[in-house]
Structure 1
Amino acid sequence: MPIEFTHVPGKTHPADSTVPFFYDFAETATKLSLIEEVGFQKIVVDDQAGLLTNMDIAARALDRTSSLGVVLTHWAGVIEPTVAARQLAGLHAKSGGRLSLRMLSEPLNDDDAEARPVGHTLVWQRIDEYLVLLKRLWSNDRPFDHEGAFYSVRAGYVPRKGPHSADMTIRMGGQSGTALRVAGRHADVFELTPGSLDEIRQLMERVRSAAAEHGRAGRLRFALPVRIRSEDNASCQKAVEIAGSPAQIALSLLPYAVLGIQEFMVVGVDRPREIATAGRETIALLRNSLARREADVPQPGAFAAGAIREARAG
């Protein structure tokens, strides 16, 4: 089974732990090359400076790498859909299709609050309308008008979209029924919340059920956050967090892989030595373990059942 690894940067400046990963891009470019080399397929761009900074960082990261995908964290309501669609389509086309969009929820801004009550449902309704508009702008062949609850578009059109723009991967997450309904309609990758095998299985079933209402259950892929800690920080692990040393992580991820999770989002490996160790001890070990186990399985389903039994016994 193909397993992908995504690097989720933290804050790692040696003199100031609050400085983000992308602060010094000359240094970051070296790390990006290493991240690409050791086996990561993607990197998340989620800078605290906000959406416009994220777009700039994403563009530079795509320029400095040849195969690494960039997962751009994005929010509805920061810029107009027509502007966002044009900029994102340009980045996606220029990179050869390596850009994906990670949609997060965020409270409506103060201006919106004056016109309507702020609430969880409204936030997700706006995300839904925003994504509908982005997809339409990426795929339409002529200008169109749109009048919705949150956005008004006149003669909306994105020229020079490139051959892959309509196929940009959308990533979402959430646990509420409202969030899952929107994710079921739009998400290609669903980012799970860490938890036990049973908790994650139940959430995956809920997401698939929501996607099935739109005929999309078979299109979903699942990603799970993982934190790699040094031996000194092992005691900091939370009750439902998948965390540990690189080698321990490789073994503990086996049963999650057989549940159908195809991507692990790795947090906590930002320095070159940590990145190299994660590639050698987590990525390589997990892939080799999966390959060996699958080669030894005499019949379908035995691998999954055995790995889950081992995890529960441990």
Structure 2
Amino acid sequence: MPIEFTHVPGKTHPADASFFYDFVETATKLSLIEDAGFQKIVVDDPAGLLTNMDLAAQALDRTSSLVVVLTHWAGVIEPTVAARQLAALDAKSGGRLSLRMLSEPLNDDDAETRPIGHTVVWQRIDEYLVLLKRLWSNDRPFDHEGAFYSIKSGYVPRKGPHGAELTIRMGGQSGTALKVAGRHADVFELTPGSFDEIRQLMERVRSAAAEHGRASKVRFALPVRIRSEDNAAASCQKAADIAGPPAQIALSLLPYAALGIHEFMIVGVDRPREIATAGRETIALLRNSLARREADVPQPGAFASRVTGEARAPS
């Protein structure tokens, strides 16, 4: 499966405004990101879910091929409302939307009826996703009475092109999080760590997914922060931290691709020059290297052992 690259907007400097602050400037950057070879862009603005949905709509309007990865939380809006809005976005974009579900503490109103805890948060996410999928696929209204949501005559008349198959992205490390991800996640966003820690987490995710017959259906994404002298102090999301010239960065990512990671979420590449360089050199070099090695090593498993022996994964 070809490696995909996702752009994760950050800040060029901690004092800078968010990536989406000035959408005229953002539109120019989106065009550069698309031309550079990125397939996806993450929308995760500090203003929260409703702003994310608006920014996602604008990003979809201003691009032709980029998949917009919309960061979402359960509990902010009701499932029926979210299902309609997300289906409309998916339809408007021609199927270029995916949903990135993050965990978030329950609010004070929830605390009055049940204790706030990690397990409860993930139980709510599980019920929320079950309802979204049901709303995206049902052909008639239905009622639901659950631990967190009550729905009467729930129905979404205008389905998106994906229907209930809209790509769901999740992450986490606890057994509870992995249990929910194993049931719902199409893409699992890995937590950066050592090479062995990442490999072990992938094995745990596959094991959780196997309980639902989905072990072979989960793809893996790894956040990678590309650091240079110009952006060494940049404020970015936590990610595997790689520095050096583009060729060295591409070589450093080869062992992860051999491990079975299908997607690199690139953080720290926000200036136009950085975006262009990442596309022209790092992304192109990595893709070309993978294509050559796959052509030379047709036997399953040989590619992984050969790459791991030639390139050392960054710590």
Normalised by the length of structure 1, the TM-score is 0.94
Task: Give the letter aligned to residue 308 of structure 2.
Answer: I
Task: Give the letter aligned to residue 257 of structure 1.
Answer: A
Task: Give the letter aligned to residue 305 of structure 2.
Answer: A
Is 1:71 the equivalent of 2:69?
yes
2:169 is paired with a residue whose SS is strand
Q: How does 1:261-300 map to 2 (within 5 A)?
A: 261-297=261-297, 299-300=299-300
CA distance in 1, matches of 2:28, 2:263: 24
CA distance in 2, matches of 1:82, 1:44: 24
Task: Give the letter aligned to residue 6 of structure 1.
Answer: T
Q: State percent identity of aligned pairs.
A: 85
- Give per-residue Cα distances to partners, 1:254-292, cap 9 Å, x unaligned: 010011100000000111101001101210010011112
Structure 1 residues 262 and 304, CA gap change in structure 2 (3 angstroms) = same
Task: Give the letter aligned to residue 293 of structure 1.
Answer: R
2:69 is paired with a residue whose SS is strand
CA distance in 1, matches of 2:231, 2:285: 22
CA distance in 1, matches of 2:194, 2:57: 37
- Structure 1, unaligned runs of 5 or more: none
- Give per-residue Cα distances to partners, 1:166-218, cap 9 Å, x unaligned: 22100000000000000000000000011222111110010000001001111
Shift, 1:301, TM fit? 2.4
Normalised by the length of structure 2, the TM-score is 0.94
Structure 2 contact 252–313 (Cα < 8 Å) conserved: no
CA RMSD across the alignment: 2.1
Structure 1 residues 130 and 299, CA gap change in structure 2 (3 angstroms) = closer
Structure 1 residues 261 and 268, CA gap change in structure 2 (3 angstroms) = same
Task: Give the letter aligned to residue 301 of structure 2.
Answer: G
Q: How does 1:8-47 map to 2 (within 5 A)?
A: 8-12=8-12, 17-47=15-45
2:311 is paired with a residue whose SS is helix
The residue number in structure 2 matching 1:206 is 204
CA distance in 2, matches of 1:128, 1:62: 27
**Greater RCO (Cα-Cα under 8 Å, separation 6 or more):** 2
The residue number in structure 1 matching 2:122 is 124
The residue number in structure 1 matching 2:53 is 55
- Structure 2, unaligned runs of 5 or more: none
Q: How does 1:1-314 map to 2 (within 5 A)?
A: 1-12=1-12, 17-231=15-229, 241-245=240-244, 246-297=246-297, 299-312=299-312
2:159 is paired with a residue whose SS is coil
- Give per-residue Cα distances to partners, 1:86-124, cap 9 Å, x unaligned: 000000011111100000000000110111110000000
Task: Give the letter aligned to residue 305 of structure 1.
Answer: S
1:280 is paired with a residue whose SS is helix
Structure 1 contact 229–268 (Cα < 8 Å) conserved: yes
Q: How many residues align?
A: 312
